[in-house]
């Protein structure tokens, strides 16, 4: 049996999700999972770098430190699985995104987490740096998970939308007719703004289960201002990150609404996620939306999405056999398998790349 490890840390920068999986046809078998939390100091320094506050020394030091933590996550998930390291074909490491600027005059997407450290520590071939080849081919470099969604979640006869609710929300529409092209792009913020506002106002990293948001009320005037941002009406291909949707973006919008309570702002930010997703969904009668990512565990957000996305049915990727937390790390395990098989991992109609490309750099054990 061929086993693979996927390592993922998203824009929330809360820690590293590691999964050990095997693939057979359209079936994913999960053998072990583990999350390695970032130490507070590392998370603070990563956040500062993501907002362009730091030095070249910080980038170099954190590249090594994050690589060591990714290696630890891989070692831990191997230990939990009972598999010998020699049975693992490869590790697919997404790395930690610091900046994502696909639309600049010199497009780039920067992930750190030194893959050579992962290979040396684990003794396992590591595939990393997945985004740059797609960018070099004229694409956005994101989202990269739609190819995985198509391979494992598509269904003839039913239109499905996979909705990932990480720091940023992205959707993959899988048409009932497999001959039709899939659609995928970042719709805008999911948890990024809510997390940023929660930290700024309460010192907590996130609003657990949307409890604070539930205390507030939606402010329609603020919501209208938030939705007026040009990103939401842009046509895909498109991708975004915390370079744009961050605490300063919120505070700029709040200048016209200085008297709102913190809870009202939080509830409005939650509604922004729900409405911006709903407004950009493909129109497909009978479509089911399968949610994944950390936001799928936010009861208030899921309730809002059920309302805004109606009449589409809202479900969880759990119903497709994969826990919402583990979809993205499983995707990068699969992308590593594609790379080593010499197969493309991007979807050009999603990213806007000039064609299919084999993604990532391989660091052999």
Round to whole Å and give the CA distance between 207 and 198: 6
- What confidence tens digit (pLDDT) does each residue in 335-348 have? 999 999 999 999 99
Instruction: Tell me whether residue 16 is annotated as binding.
Output: yes
Pairing of strands 313-316, 288-292: parallel
Helix axes 56-81, 115-122, angle to 10 degrees: 30
Distance, CA of 326 to CA of 221 (rounded, Å): 37
Mean pLDDT score, 116-145:
98
Burial class (CB in 10 A: 0-12, 13-18, 19+), 179: exposed
Nearest to 75 by CA among 63, 62, 85, 64: 85
Q: Flag whether 15 is marked binding.
A: yes
Please provide the average confidence, as pLDDT, over all residues in the chain: 96
Where residue 26 falls among pLDDT bands split at 50, 70, 90? confident
Is the pLDDT score of 178 beyond 90? Answer: no
What band does 25 get if pLDDT is binned at 50, 70 and 90? confident
**What angle, 0 to 180 degrees and rounded to 10, lies between the N-to-C axes of helices 262-280 and 220-227?**
50
pLDDT of residue 12: 84
11 is in an annotated binding site: yes
Per-residue pLDDT at 283: 87
What does the pLDDT read at residue 231? Answer: 98
Instruction: Answer yes or no: is 13 a known binding residue.
Output: yes
Residue-wise pLDDT tens digits, 42-89: 999 999 999 999 999 999 999 999 999 999 999 999 999 999 999 999
Check residue 11 and give its pLDDT: 85
The answer, yes or no, to whether the previous bond of 54 is cis (omega within 30 of 0) is: no
3-class DSSP string for the chain: CCEEEEEEECCCCCEEEEEEEEEECCEEEEEEEEEEECCHHHHHHHHHHHCCCCCHHHHHHHHHHHHHHHHHHHHHHHHHHCCCHHHEEEEEEEEEEEEEECCCCCCEEEEECCHHHHHHHHCCCEEECCCHHHHHCCCCCCCCCHHHHHHHHCECCECEEEEEECCEEEEEEECCCCCCCCEEEEEEECCHHHHHHHHHHHCCCCCHHHHHHHHCCCCHHHHHHHHCCHHHHCCCCCCCCCCCCCHHHHHHHHCCCCCCCHHHHHHHHHHHHHHHHHHHCCCCCCCEEEEECHHHHCHHHHHHHHHHCCCCEEEEHHHHCCCHHHHHHHHHHHHHHHHHCCCCCCCHHHHCCCCCCCCCEEECC
Query: Average pLDDT in the 80-104 region?
Result: 96
Q: Is the pLDDT of residue 156 over 90?
A: no
Please check the confidence at residue 179 and state whether its pLDDT lies above 90.
no
Q: Is 12 flagged in the annotation as binding?
A: yes
Per the structure block, which two tokens stand in for 41? 């100091």
Please write the tens of the pLDDT for every residue from 228-243: 999 999 999 999 999 9
Confidence label for 41 from pLDDT (cuts 50, 70 and 90): very high
pLDDT of residue 149: 97
Query: Does the pLDDT at position 301 exceed 90?
Result: yes
Domains assigned to the chain: 3-141+326-363 (3.30.420.40), 146-320 (3.30.420.40)
């Amino acid at each position: 049996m061929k086993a693979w490890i996927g390592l993922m840390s998203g824009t929330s920068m809360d820690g590293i999700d590691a999964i050990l999986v095997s693939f057979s046809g359209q079936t994913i078998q999960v053998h072990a999972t583990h999350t390695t939390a970032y130490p507070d100091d590392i998370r603070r320094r990563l956040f500062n770098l993501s907002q362009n506050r730091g030095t070249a020394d910080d980038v170099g030091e954190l590249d090594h430190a994050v690589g060591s933590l990714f290696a630890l996550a891989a070692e831990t998930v191997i230990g939990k699985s009972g598999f010998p390291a020699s049975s693992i074909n490869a590790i697919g490491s997404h790395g930690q995104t610091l900046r994502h600027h696909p639309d600049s005059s010199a497009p780039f997407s920067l992930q750190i987490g030194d893959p050579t450290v992962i290979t040396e520590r684990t003794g396992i071939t590591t595939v990393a740096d997945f985004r740059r080849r797609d960018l070099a081919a004229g694409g956005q470099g994101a989202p990269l998970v739609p190819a995985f969604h198509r391979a494992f979640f598509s269904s003839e006869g039913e239109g499905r939308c996979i909705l990932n609710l990480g720091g940023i929300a992205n959707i993959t529409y899988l048409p009932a007719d497999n001959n039709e092209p899939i659609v995928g792009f970042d719709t805008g913020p999911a948890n990024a703004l809510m997390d940023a506002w929660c930290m700024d106002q309460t010192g907590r990293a996130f609003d657990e289960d949307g409890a604070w948001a539930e205390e507030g009320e939606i402010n329609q005037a603020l919501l209208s201002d938030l939705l007026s941002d040009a990103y939401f009406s842009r046509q895909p291909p498109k991708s975004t990150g915390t370079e744009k949707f961050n605490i300063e973006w919120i505070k700029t919008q709040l200048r016209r609404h200085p008297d709102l309570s913190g809870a009202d702002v939080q509830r409005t930010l939650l509604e922004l996620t729900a409405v911006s997703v709903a407004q950009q969904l493909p129109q497909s009668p009978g479509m089911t939306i399968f949610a994944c990512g950390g936001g799928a565990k936010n009861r208030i957000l899921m309730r809002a999405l059920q309302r805004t996305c109606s009449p589409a049915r809202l479900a969880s990727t759990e119903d497709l056999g994969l826990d919402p937390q583990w979809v993205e790390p499983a995707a990068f395990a699969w992308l590593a398998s594609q790379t080593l098989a010499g197969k493309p991992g991007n979807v050009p109609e999603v990213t806007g790349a000039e064609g299919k490309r084999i993604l990532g750099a391989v660091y052999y054990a």
